Structure 1
C-alpha cells in the first residue's frame, strides 16, 4: 500500500524553525521512516516559497533544510479542470466556513488545497492511502467527511498536529 503524507502550513509553524526540538524530531522521524511530507503549492506559497521558481526553496522560506534534504516536497499543481478536485475543494470551503462561522470568501485557499490534493493523489492512483497532518481541525474534518462521499472510504487518516504530537513523534508514526 502506498501512502502519501500531506501537511499544512500550521504543522511547520507549530514546529518552529530548524533550531527547535519539535522541528528536529519531525525531521528525524520522517528521515528514519524514509518518507516525505508533501505540501500543496498554496501551502508552499504560505511558507514563503515560489513554486514557479526553477528550484526550490526560494524567497525567505523558514524550512529550507526540509526541501533540500527531500523530507518536504512540493506537490504538482492541482488539476482544477478535474470536476472531482473542484467539487471537493468547493465543498470543503463550505464545510470549513460552516464549522468556523465564517464567510466562504475568507476561507484560506491552502485549507481547501489540502483536501483537493488528497483527492487528486487518491483518484490518480498515486496513493492508496493519505495521511493529512494539519493543525486545522475544520480542514481535517472536511477531508474525513468529503473523501468517503466521493468514493474514497477508509483511505484518509487525519492527524491533528498538536504540540504533544510533535514532542513525541517518532519514525513509527510513518511506518
Structure 2
C-alpha cells in the first residue's frame, strides 16, 4: 500500500525555522521513515517559493534543505480540468466557509488545494492512502468529509499538527 503525506503551510510555520527543534524533529522523523511530505504548489508559494523558477528551491524559500534533501516535494500541478479535482476543491471552499462563518471568496486557496491534491493522488493511483498533515482543522474536516463522498472512504486520514504533535513526533508516525 502506497501512502502519500500531504502537508500545509501551517505545519512549517508551526515548526519554526530550520534551526528550531520542532523543525529538526520533523525532518529527522520523515527522513528516518524514508518518506516525503508533498505540498501543493499553492503551499510552496505561501512558503515563499517561486513556481516560475526553473528548479526548486527558489532563493526566498526558508526551507531549502528540505527540498534539496528530498523530504519536502512540490506536487505536480493540480489538474483543474479534472471534474473530481475541481468539484472537490469547490466543495471544500464551501465547507470551510460554512465551518468558519467566512465568505467563500476569502477561503485560502492553499486550503482547498490540499483537498484537491489528496483527491488527485487517490484518483490517479499515485497513492492508495493519503495522510493530510495540517494545522487547519476546517480544511482537515473538509477532506475527511468530502473525499468519502467521492468514493474514497477509508483512504484519507487527517492529522492535526499541534505543537505537542511536533514536540513528540517520531518516524513511527510515518510507518
TM-score by length of 1: 0.99
Partners of 2:52 and 2:141 lie apart in 1 by 30
Deviations 1:53-110 (A, max 9, x none): 1111113111111011000000010000000000000000000000000000000100
Match of 2:7 in 1: 7
- 2:54 alignment partner in structure 1: 54
Partner of 1:100: 100
Question: C-alpha distance in 2, partners of 1:68/1:59?
Answer: 13
Which 5+ residue runs of structure 1 have no aligned equivalent? Answer: none
Alpha-carbon distance, 1:51 to partner: 1.9
Query: Which residue pairs with 1:143 in the alignment?
Result: 143
Root-mean-square deviation (CA, aligned residues, Å) is 0.5
In structure 1, what is the Cα distance between the partners aligned to 2:65 and 2:16?
13
Taking the TM superposition and a 5 Å limit, the aligned residue runs for 1:25-174 are 25-174=25-174
Distance 1:97 1:122 in 2: 25
Q: How many residues align?
A: 175
CA distance in 1, matches of 2:59, 2:16: 18
TM-score, L = length of structure 2: 0.99
Q: Distance in 1 between matches of 2:174 and 2:64?
A: 22
SS in 1 for 2:92: helix
1:19 counterpart residue number: 19
The 4+ residue runs of structure 1 with deviation greater than 3 A are none
